[in-house]
Amino acid sequence: MIHEIYPKVFFNQYDPSKRPAAEDRVIAFAGREFLCRIEGDQISYPSYSEARAAAPDDAAFIYAFDISGEDYYLCRTPERLSIEGFEYSDISTYGKVFPMDRAYAAIIAFHLNNWYSSERYCGRCGSELVPDGKERAMRCPKCGNLIYPRINPCVIVGVINDGKILCTQYNRPNAGRFALIAGFAEIGESLEECVKREVMEEVGLKVKDLRFYKSEPWGMSSSLLSGFYCRVDGDPEPHPDGVEIAAGRWFSREDLLEIYTPSHVALTSDMITKFMRGEVTEESLFGK
């Protein structure tokens, strides 16, 4: 998955006193695009000295995070930077490039950049926000309101029954391949309740025996994904809601081996792939 960058280590402690050094990495966005160099499937970013020469204002550089001693900064400038050898690419590029730690840097920087772009004015009093100065937060100088980076909790659900896993297809043009049931947690809801509600809403099934699998930070939707496996409680016939979900279908390992191409970045794909390869079974999950 995208955050599995071992032996590299992601270190996100915010340090407001940090200022960029010449060789630090810089990620600059223009909407959904970010500035990078892609050679084959290898991605790299401009250094601070390269970006500073192109950016009009040093205040545009904000410390983002550290990956194994390599510091990353966001460059938050309204202009597109022009740096020889680097071009803007759509953020979806992150899923096709290596090394993984640099691909991961793009998606986390995207999350952070979106947050900074959204949190410019106080939602209570309308004053312009300023960086807090101590934590990764924006502060209202008038009313003291503190706003932390927004992270949306979300569940991914692998429902398993009788040697098969339930996959769904979204009801939208170009919905693409089958995925797992997924959705955002509502206010006042536990992740376990969210799993049950999402499965009921999307395919009309009751589920039981929830087993937490793994979580994954997912900067594309500012989310934190929690993956659960579970099994059907009662009738296994899916009834897709026809609104969000167009189709729901049970796939055996053999079905998947024929049609499914794993992706190395996403929790959904990791969960389907683990089932397809027999590394996750009803026996391993539920002791059946």
Q: Which residues bind Zn ion (CB under 5 A)?
A: 122, 124-125, 127, 140, 142-143, 145
CA angle, 67 as apex, 35 and 59 as ends, to 5°? Answer: 55
- Shortest distance (Å) from residue 145 CB to Zn ion: 4
- The alpha-helical segments, DSSP class H, found in the chain are 48-54, 100-118, 191-203, 253-259, 267-276, 282-286
Kindly report whether the peptide bond that precedes residue 99 is cis, defined as omega within 30 degrees of 0. Answer: yes
**DSSP one-letter string for 72-104:** EEEE--SSPP--TT-EEEEGGGGGG-BSHHHHH
Beta strands in 176-252 (DSSP E): 181-184, 207-218, 223-232, 245-252
Cβ 144 to Zn ion, closest distance in Å? 7
Measured from the CB atom, the residue of 140 and 180 that comes closer to Zn ion is 140
Nearer to Zn ion, 47 or 145 (CB): 145
For Zn ion, give the closer residue by CB, 93 or 145: 145
What's the min distance (Å) between Cβ of 126 and Zn ion? 7
Nearer to Zn ion, 38 or 147 (CB): 147
Q: Strand, helix or coil at 177?
A: coil
How, if at all, do strands 25-30 and 70-75 pair?
Answer: parallel
At closest approach, how far in Å is the CB of 25 from Zn ion?
A: 34
Pick the closer one to Zn ion by CB: 147 or 220. 147
Least separation in angstroms between residue 270's CB and Zn ion is 41
